[in-house]
Structure 1
Amino acid sequence: MNINTQVLKNRFKSTLKSMNPISNYYAKAEKIELKQEIINELNRALREARKNKIISANDFTKIVFHIERVDVRNNVSILAQSLIKSKSLESIQVIALIKLMSLYVSYDSKNYSQVKKILNVNLAIAKLIKFYSKKYVKSFANDIDKLTNSEFNQKSVIQQELRIDVDLIRRNYWNKAIVAAQIIEKNTSHFIEFPQTIFINLVKFQILFHEQNLFLKNKSNFSLQKYITYDAISLQASEKYNIVKEQLSKYSNINVDSFTSHINETSKFIRLSDLPPMNGYQLVGLLVSYLLLLLWSVIILLPLAQMVILSFDGSGGLYIGTQNVSGNRGWFIHYQELINDTNFRYWLGNSLIVSVSTMVLTVSFTVLLAYAFSRFRFPGRRSSILTVMLLQMVPSIAALTAFLVLYQLTNLDMLVFLIIIYTGGALTGNTFILKGYLDSIPIDLDEAAKIDGASTARVFLTILVPLSKPMIAIVALWSFIGPFGDVILPVLLAPATVEGNKQLTMAAGLRTLIAGTNPHQYTFLAGAIITGVPLTILFVVAQKFLVSGLTKGAVK
């Protein structure tokens, strides 16, 4: 068996496993969030540092992106938040500084190129930490200077649990992380009571847990696979985890199970097998959920299955349920009739031209309009937005007569006219949706880039467009599928002649196969299958962007 065959076989097995409803049942993983007042303090610190030119506008943007990608579970900050119950400004500033310190020493890299990017951002974070500690949390200031000093270097590797000589990058990060934990314990002990060395043990667990995950993900070029076994890493990680759990169990005001679950998760979701056993009500609820899903699947899949089966029925006649006088003519006879005896090639070509052109124009104009409405203030802006909203309320079918008259007056090519109408119809709703998405992106990113010398066009192309990719993907998909599936407008505009039939798009062309006195229903089913498969593949490929765009648009 060659490598490709083995890979396909493994993928097939994993696909079958993922179809198991029990093994694939997900629940939301435990995650404790930072309090809003701490997040607000972090935002204020960033803005103040930029205002005082401690960090550049470019540094500001880098740190914002860094916060979204590194130390996302905030383990050290959440521990400090759990231990410090006071809501005073001093407490909030201390936790905010701890969050910045954990960002500075975070080691979430999965490859060496990512390490270089983090090292670059850390230079800006070091400036921010020193500025913030000297101005607001002075008890940390001297120790912070030592931590961020490039010449500060421990003579021995503090993290010695693995007992191996790690690379210089790891040694530097591990040392800094543990020193940061020591600084936190030293400077917070005067107003909170906590088990000695708990922050150090948590940081060590975090380091080991990350190495454990690198090992599991088979990052052979970056993990410690060449130096140590997985069992050795896992043993040390488990030991530190149990120490942290035992230390926290002495405090009644901390939910130990919740916190330990938080630090032990790497994903937003967990499988059913990772959850505690369900009680009777939960089992009944799960059973009812799967029965409803099964019923819904049957309702959806049964007609599709019937379509596929009948499209390959070589003995079928003109109508569904009738037999051909020639008997069984082969599985693919209806597909051959579709391609050879109809204008299928013209319909497909017309649909692709109209759909792709509409998609490109709609995305281009929608992004520009949404950007203008979201970021600029100009006379008539409010009334223009209201006009866009009102235009959405007019059903397109009400304008069919106007479209026909306009088509006859302009004498444009039918495909060109369809592209114009579809693009104009798609602009209103999509502009309003994308404008709302752009509103959710902080304007501080634009300002930071402009302060750094970026033009308006560069801000738009390099910051806003990449951040809006999920929603732009949704707009592109909608504007492609709409023209591909429209029947009414092409039928209305195309003349009822042989040449007119060649001008139809796919959906309108397939309709002619079941209209009139001489229908070809089996051939129509073959055309529906050919049309549906590419669209289904398109949805599957774009699924990540669809889910990301819809959920981010809702959450932001």
Structure 2
Amino acid sequence: MRKNRRRNTIIRHIVLTLLALLWLVPIIWLVVTSFSAYDGVRYSKFFPEKWSLRQYNRLFFKPDSAANYPAWFKNSLIIGVFCCIISSVFVLMVSYAFSCMRFKARKSLMSFSIILGMFPGVLSMIAIYFVMKMVGLTNSKLGLILVYSGGSGLGFLICKGFFDTIPASLREAAKIEGASEFKVFTRIVIPLSKPMIVYTVINAFLTPWMDFVMARLMIRSRAPQDWTVAVGLFNILQKSLIGQYFSVFCAGGVIVAVPISILFLIMQKFYVEGITGGAVKG
């Protein structure tokens, strides 16, 4: 029995190691290629023959008509930050309303919202585009912010499930003391929901930061300074440009991960504090 268990454990670890390698190899190749002195694509060798910071220098300090990464990064950061704030507020408010408040048609509205959220977003993209075009908000950061934030409240389900675990007696005690619904939300529910707030904030930032399809549909401008990071990096992969900008594309892909990593590192402390503080809600 011990031999069988040991053999099964070894087999599982070997399989997991192989899967991890399959997942890590493209990422490692992307990183090492970004430090290559060669501009194009090279398949003959995994590691570059000459190491250099030339691609990062081109990325940030030598923007041109094909690769204007500083402008792309700025546009994506502005859209991501505003969407993060607006979407997080929407999700938390909708989740609180469905979890802690009672009103007519509450269950019907919640069921309808869940069913509506099951439909792929791609089904509504064309309609959204024409609506935004009618009001003149295509090719603008404001239009993308409205598109990404407008339907964010439909992602309330996970957050609502967490709010359901907060004892109703805490809210009732606050209301007996004269607290309004807003004070109950901000003074009772929010401080006890730090882990869920962190989850909501990170998701709200990742959606606009990583999205390509909606950004490509909304931004029809041919001027590179109007694009987001995803649209700009995709444009570099054209056949006419990939031979000169592939290593720059890899460097841009590495830099894209930096804001996400910083956001996680900042929020990690609050995540741990939220878990330890939320463990004594009862």
Any unmatched runs of 5+ in structure 1? 1-277
The one of 409, 414, 418 equivalent to 2:144 is 418
Aligned-residue CA RMSD (Å): 2.9
Q: Distance in 1 between matches of 2:116 and 2:42?
A: 42
Shift of 1:433: 1.8
Q: Distance in 1 between matches of 2:87 and 2:262?
A: 22
CA displacement, residues 32-52 of structure 1 (integer Å, 9 cap, x when unaligned):
xxxxxxxxxxxxxxxxxxxxx
CA displacement, residues 206-261 of structure 1 (integer Å, 9 cap, x when unaligned):
xxxxxxxxxxxxxxxxxxxxxxxxxxxxxxxxxxxxxxxxxxxxxxxxxxxxxxxx
Shift of 1:290: 2.6
Alignment of 1:113-128 (within 5 A): none
Residue 428 (structure 1) aligned with residue 154 (structure 2):
yes
Paired residues of 1:338 and 1:526 also in contact (CA < 8 A): yes
> Counterpart of 1:467 in 2: which secondary structure?
coil
Shift of 1:329: 7.8
CA displacement, residues 307-341 of structure 1 (integer Å, 9 cap, x when unaligned):
11111110x23333489xxxx88601111222213
The one of 34, 39, 54 equivalent to 1:333 is 54
Query: For residue 11 of structure 2, what is the aligned residue in structure 1?
Result: 288
Paired residues of 1:494 and 1:503 also in contact (CA < 8 A): yes
Identity value in percent: 30
Q: Distance in 2 between matches of 1:404 and 1:375?
A: 35
Q: Distance in 2 between matches of 1:451 and 1:284?
A: 62
> Counterpart of 1:423 in 2: which secondary structure?
helix
> Counterpart of 2:191 in 1: which secondary structure?
helix
TM-score normalized by structure 1?
Answer: 0.45
CA displacement, residues 398-429 of structure 1 (integer Å, 9 cap, x when unaligned):
11211221121011261111111111232212
Query: For residue 158 of structure 1, what is the aligned residue in structure 2?
Result: none
| Cα separation, partners in 2 of 1:534 and 1:320, compared to 1, 3 Å | farther
CA displacement, residues 178-215 of structure 1 (integer Å, 9 cap, x when unaligned):
xxxxxxxxxxxxxxxxxxxxxxxxxxxxxxxxxxxxxx
Query: For residue 534 of structure 1, what is the aligned residue in structure 2?
Result: 259
Q: Distance in 2 between matches of 1:321 and 1:445?
A: 62
Query: For residue 41 of structure 2, what is the aligned residue in structure 1?
Result: 319
Paired residues of 2:212 and 2:231 also in contact (CA < 8 A): yes
Paired residues of 1:388 and 1:432 also in contact (CA < 8 A): no
Shift of 1:371: 0.9
Query: For residue 199 of structure 1, what is the aligned residue in structure 2?
Result: none
Paired residues of 1:320 and 1:521 also in contact (CA < 8 A): no
> Counterpart of 2:236 in 1: which secondary structure?
coil
Higher relative contact order (CA 8 A, sep 6+): 2
Paired residues of 2:83 and 2:204 also in contact (CA < 8 A): yes
Shift of 1:282: 4.3
Paired residues of 1:319 and 1:522 also in contact (CA < 8 A): yes
Q: Distance in 1 between matches of 2:18 and 2:113?
A: 40
Shift of 1:441: 1.2
| Cα separation, partners in 2 of 1:542 and 1:458, compared to 1, 3 Å | same
The one of 26, 49, 57 equivalent to 1:303 is 26
Query: For residue 222 of structure 2, what is the aligned residue in structure 1?
Result: 497
Alignment of 1:238-249 (within 5 A): none
TM-score normalized by structure 2?
Answer: 0.85
Q: Distance in 2 between matches of 1:450 and 1:368?
A: 18
Q: Distance in 2 between matches of 1:280 and 1:464?
A: 52
Shift of 1:289: 3.7
| Cα separation, partners in 2 of 1:369 and 1:438, compared to 1, 3 Å | same
| Cα separation, partners in 2 of 1:329 and 1:295, compared to 1, 3 Å | closer
Q: Distance in 2 between matches of 1:361 and 1:399?
A: 21
| Cα separation, partners in 2 of 1:452 and 1:378, compared to 1, 3 Å | same
> Counterpart of 1:308 in 2: which secondary structure?
helix
Residue 467 (structure 1) aligned with residue 192 (structure 2):
yes
> Counterpart of 2:240 in 1: which secondary structure?
coil
Paired residues of 2:75 and 2:226 also in contact (CA < 8 A): yes
Paired residues of 1:374 and 1:439 also in contact (CA < 8 A): yes
Paired residues of 2:39 and 2:248 also in contact (CA < 8 A): no
> Structure 1 counterpart of 2:165, which letter?
S
Query: For residue 515 of structure 1, what is the aligned residue in structure 2?
Result: 238
Residue 384 (structure 1) aligned with residue 105 (structure 2):
no
> Counterpart of 2:190 in 1: which secondary structure?
helix
Alignment of 1:63-462 (within 5 A): 279-314=2-37, 316-321=38-43, 331-339=52-60, 340-341=62-63, 342-412=67-137, 414-429=140-155, 431-462=156-187
Q: Distance in 2 between matches of 1:352 and 1:365?
A: 20
> Structure 1 counterpart of 2:20, which letter?
S
> Structure 2 counterpart of 1:425, which letter?
G
| Cα separation, partners in 2 of 1:435 and 1:527, compared to 1, 3 Å | same
Query: For residue 91 of structure 1, what is the aligned residue in structure 2?
Result: none
Shift of 1:492: 1.7
CA displacement, residues 366-410 of structure 1 (integer Å, 9 cap, x when unaligned):
111111111111122122112211221121111121122112101
Paired residues of 1:320 and 1:522 also in contact (CA < 8 A): no
Paired residues of 2:144 and 2:218 also in contact (CA < 8 A): no
Any unmatched runs of 5+ in structure 2? none
Shift of 1:525: 0.5
Shift of 1:506: 1.1
